[in-house]
């Protein structure tokens, strides 16, 4: 299935708007919406002029509920810090309080975006190294959509490896598009083409590379495929973003290899953040 992108408000006319009034506190305008399938979409919004963030951080975004109160959820910013616009990559949970509505936003609608970025998937929480792994499952790729377009990532690391594991092949489409866009970007493309490696895998659909990333690390397939040495606390740094189960399991593998969890206040050799709660 191919992605459906809207950048004009024409499709908006036929359905009821789910957006918030333009004069709502912290409202930002939706500029484009791309539906990848019936479970995933991404959208761009206007960037408030004074808004600053570090690559990998998240903010609270949302709509108003039926009582007119903000209904907000955490979302990783899926755009580079230097971009004129912001972007988010989202799940569609059919009975989810926010995303059952948010999936219907259209160009020209407004959503709420609180302007306090936070998070641990930042370069500042890692000590220097040679190779940076970014391990994502599902929508956990979103913070890396920001980080892989940060020139400092390529200054600090010789090699950047983004792994993305999903159940089904169509869930990899956004990541594939992201890598293609990054490698042809006028600012970051040359660095990314030389230093960024992408390793997509599926766990349910047949695809060229199958298996959970934890299995591929444990049995050495990841290292063989990429022709890199096994994880080392001396040279490797890791950022993880997935479900609680993924984060816990990768954390155990990293700690067995001698890596230590870092934080903004105490940088170390790996960092993690939940891609969702539950
Ligand atoms: C730090 C942080 C960053 C996040 N960044 C993103 C992001 O960039 N993109 C994004 O889509 N979501 C992200 N989330 C999840 C997001 O905050 C919401 O949970 C999601 O938008 C669904 O909201 P909801 O109100 O529709 O359903 P909720 O009531 O929030 O969730 C209902 C159930 O849906 C499932 N679920 C929720 N989110 C996801 C997801 N992303 N992937 C798979 N299953 C999910 C869980 O089982 C959850 O219990 C993030 C969460 C955290 C904690
Ligand atoms: N995506 C779908 O098609 C789908 C459909 C129906 C319901 N849901 C529900 O939606 C929620 C999120 O689904 P999701 O697919 O986005 O996210 P997810 O369940 O976190 O799975 C994303 C990917 O991470 C892998 N994974 C999960 N736990 C792992 C662990 N501990 N170690 C290593 N790899 C791990 C999964 O492999 P495995 O396949 O081996 O688990 C899958 O490839 C879940 O609650 C799910 O029940 C999703």
User: In sequence order, what are the residues at sequence separation of 6 or more whose Cβ sits closer than 8 angstroms to the Cβ of residue 50?
Assistant: 115
Domains by residue range for the chain, with CATH: 4-113 (2.40.30.10), 123-274 (3.40.50.80)
- The secondary element (H helix, E strand) that includes residue 134 is strand 131-137
Ligand 2 centroid vs 214 CA: distance in angstroms? 13
Q: At 120, is the secondary structure helix, strand, or coil? A: coil
The strand pairing partners of 118, in sequence order, are 58
Stated pTM of the model: 0.96
Ligand 1 centroid vs 209 CA: distance in angstroms? 26
Q: What are phi and psi of 139, to 5 degrees?
A: -75, 0
| Any ligand 1 atom below 6 A from CB of 275 | yes
As a residue count, the chain comes to 278
- Locate the ligand 1 atom nearest the alpha carbon of residue 75 and give its number: 5
Residue 242 pLDDT greater than 80, yes or no: yes
Q: What are phi and psi of 201, to 5 degrees?
A: -140, 155
Residue 10 pLDDT greater than 80, yes or no: no
Distances (CA, A) of 140 to 114, 177, 230, 262, 266: 20, 16, 23, 19, 23
Tell how far CA 157 is from the center of its chain. 19
Q: Render pLDDT for 108-137 as a digit per residue (tens, 0 to 9).
A: 999 999 999 999 999 999 999 999 999 999
Half-sphere exposure of residue 220: CA atoms within 13 angstroms, side-chain side: 4
């Amino acid at each position: 299935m191919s992605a459906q992108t809207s950048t004009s408000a024409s499709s908006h006319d036929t359905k009821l708007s789910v957006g918030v009034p333009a004069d709502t506190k912290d409202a930002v305008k939706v500029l484009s919406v791309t539906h990848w399938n019936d479970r995933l979409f991404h959208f761009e919004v206007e960037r408030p002029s004074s808004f600053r963030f570090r690559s990998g951080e998240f903010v609270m975004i949302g709509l108003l509920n039926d009582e007119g109160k903000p209904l907000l959820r955490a979302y990783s910013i899926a755009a580079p810090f230097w971009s004129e616009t912001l972007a988010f990559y989202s799940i569609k949970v059919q009975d989810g309080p926010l995303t059952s509505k948010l999936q219907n936003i259209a160009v020209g609608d407004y959503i709420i975006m609180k302007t306090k970025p936070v998070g641990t998937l930042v370069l500042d929480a890692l000590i220097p190294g040679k190779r940076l792994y970014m391990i994502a499952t599902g929508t956990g790729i979103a913070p890396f959509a920001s980080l892989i377009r940060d020139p400092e990532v390529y200054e600090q690391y010789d090699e950047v490896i983004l792994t993305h594991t999903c159940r089904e092949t169509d869930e990899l489409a956004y990541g594939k598009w992201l890598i293609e866009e990054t490698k042809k970007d006028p600012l970051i493309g040359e660095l990314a083409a030389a230093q960024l490696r992408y390793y997509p895998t599926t766990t349910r659909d047949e695809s060229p590379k199958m298996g959970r990333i934890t299995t591929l690390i444990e049995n050495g397939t990841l290292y063989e495929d990429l022709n890199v040495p096994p994880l080392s606390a001396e040279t490797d740094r890791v950022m993880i973003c997935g479900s609680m189960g993924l984060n816990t399991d990768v954390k155990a593998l990293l700690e067995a290899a001698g890596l230590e969890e870092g934080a903004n206040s105490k940088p170390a050799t790996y960092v993690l953040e939940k891609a969702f709660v539950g």
